[in-house]
Structure 1
Amino acid sequence: MSGFLATLVAFVGLYLVSLLSFDARKSAESSRFNVHQKRPSEKRAAPGSGNGAARPAQRPTFRTLADLGSD
């Protein structure tokens, strides 16, 4: 049943995307409802999991005249 529902949502989504656009083919190909479009999988680590080094603090790039002598 969930496969049928997913197919129905994809069909209606592609239909509406192509109906409401000026270039139907291009918009259908780049639509998120396109089942043949490959999307990059994003694997995110849980916050605080410690799977990477912390970024060092960046120096501010915007400087004023008062900041010039403090290097």
Structure 2
Amino acid sequence: MATESKEPRLMTLKEVVKEYGATLWFWRTRVWRKELPVLTAGNKQLLDRRDIEAFIEQNKHVAN
């Protein structure tokens, strides 16, 4: 059986900013442009850590 991470899978936008950097507006824009899926629970928007990691990997490139 796989060990579970102690980190929460779902994160608020503010938690994403603290952990991954960039600005709140950067992450909000990614959600608004539908570049990142979001779970809406009441008035909170929650992002899945797996989706954030996948977004980062997909957008990496070598600078010229």
- Please give the TM-score of this superposition, normalised by the length of structure 2: 0.27
Higher relative contact order (CA 8 A, sep 6+): 2
- Please give the TM-score of this superposition, normalised by the length of structure 1: 0.25
